[in-house]
Amino acid sequence: MSNNYVNDFPILQKTMNGKRLVYLDNGATTQKPLSVINAVQEYYASFNANPHRGAYELSVTATQIYEDAREKVRKFLGAEKTSEIIFTKNATESLNLLAYSYGMTFINPGDEIVISIAEHHSNIVPWQQVAKAKGATLQYLYVNEAGILTDEEIEKKISSRTKIVAVTQVSNVLGIINPIEKIVHKAHSVGAVVIVDGAQSVPHFSVDVKVLDVDFLVFSGHKMLAPMGVGVLYGKEQLLDKMPPFLSGGDMIEYVWEQDTSFAPLPAKFEAGTQNVGGVLGLSAAIDYVEKVGFSNIEQIEKELIHYAIPKLQQLPFITLYGCEDLSKKTGVISFNVKDIHPHDVSSILDADGIAIRAGHHCAHPLMQYLGVNATCRASFYFYNTREDVDALINALGRVRGVLGYGS
């Protein structure tokens, strides 16, 4: 049985290879509801102009649209001020902004930057760059066999040498929710700032930056119904204020002289050049849609789906699951392997049934090395997925080994 949400998503009405599209790659990107598609289309049909630059009505409207969206994001994240919301193009750019502006400025030789082994490459590589350039050390928080970050590990790795702790709130490979409160508590007790990668959390449950007391948080709009090309950086005002600009040029200045420039105040200081206003309006419509569905509902649906899917997968003797021991701290992400079959073959074979899952290393090489696997399959749900989607997955998985000549 499909749910009503599906009707709002044009792409989910499509057939793939003659089969209903079963989209289970929401960790990579989500599909877009008509309201988001229409918002972007309406922006270009009716409101397009360069914001902040013109004294004519259209430009004023575009500016208004852009700044209204910022206010919506502020409320959505529970931030105190709109100046603390910076638009970027994605989580990756937000993390690079932090590495290059905060990291390169405030990290000194001998300092430690702490990240977890379950990070996406976008929260590893920029910190490696900072550590190399500044003579600092990159320390890893390792998860236990169940994929969980323990209190002991947090206590052990975060020390007086730690200046930055950058962790993902939810692992994109395992879907496991990390204990951000504990990490923040420990990090703040040693004077370190905490950067949270919310790429896999913000779309799936309510995240309040003030309640968590995180210093920075990033996410990508496209993983939460919004168009690609819009991301967000939240940062505490007093920290953003003391950071130098990341990119420089138009819109981020106050005055420019021949040899010097005074920078615009927040948030413009970090938004050089013409921004993706249409995309930002799409993000605004996405937040409206998500709030209409409601996070308690989203969490409930995803929980039901994994509680339905995981026991079924456990019944298949040829399936190995990763990070599925404790379902209480988990979003709708399931990583698994099919005995003897490489994830890419699994993915291609499921594709023939119209089922889209991710196969590979999920941009998390260090975690894969740590788990001792070369690659995994990943099914990741969003609220528009249904039990019917899970059934389709389970049925198709039953056929995979046979296609390559293995018995079941």
Partner 1 sequence: MDLSEIYTEIIAEHNKSKRNKKQMENPTVILKGRNPSCGDEIELALKVEKNIIQDASFTGVGCAISQASTSMMIDLVRGQTIEKAQLLIDTFLGMIKREITEEEQLEILDEAVALQNISNMPARVKCAVLSWHTLESAITTEEGKTSESSQSSH
Q: Return the structure tokens found at 315.
A: 């019944």
**Does residue 220 belong to the site contacting ligand PLP (CB under 6 A)?**
yes
Nearest to partner 1 of 212, 349 (CB atom): 349
Please tell me the distance from the alpha carbon of residue 288 to that of residue 133, in angstroms, as a whole number: 42
**Does residue 200 belong to the site contacting ligand PLP (CB under 6 A)?**
yes
**The one-letter amino acid at 263:** F
Q: How far is the CB of 375 from partner 1 (least distance, A)?
A: 5
**3-state secondary structure at position 140:** strand
**Does residue 172 belong to the site contacting ligand PLP (CB under 6 A)?**
yes
Beta carbons within 8 Å of 177's beta carbon, 6+ residues apart: 169, 170, 201, 329, 330, 331
Nearest to partner 1 of 109, 405 (CB atom): 405
Measuring CA to CA, how many Å separate 105 from each of 31, 242, 338?
38, 10, 46
Question: Which runs of consecutive H residues, i.e. helices, occur in 98-254?
Answer: 104-106, 125-134, 151-157, 180-189, 209-212, 237-242
With CB under 6 A as the contact rule, the residue among 62, 91, 165, 316 that binds ligand PLP is: 91
**Does residue 396 belong to the site contacting partner 1 (CB under 8 A)?**
no
Q: Could you give the string, one character per residue 306-345, with x where binding to ligand PLP holds by CB under 6 A and - elsewhere?
A: ----------------------------------------
Q: How far is the CB of 27 from ligand PLP (least distance, A)?
A: 6
With CB under 6 A as the contact rule, the residue among 79, 199, 293, 393 that binds ligand PLP is: 199
363 in active site: yes
**The one-letter amino acid at 380:** S
**Does residue 360 belong to the site contacting partner 1 (CB under 8 A)?**
yes
Please tell me the distance from the alpha carbon of residue 384 to that of residue 407, in angstroms, as a whole number: 34
**Does residue 124 belong to the site contacting partner 1 (CB under 8 A)?**
no
Nearest to ligand PLP of 83, 90 (CB atom): 90
Contacts with partner 1: how many residues (CB under 8 A)? 20
**3-state secondary structure at position 175:** coil
Residues recognised as catalytic: 363
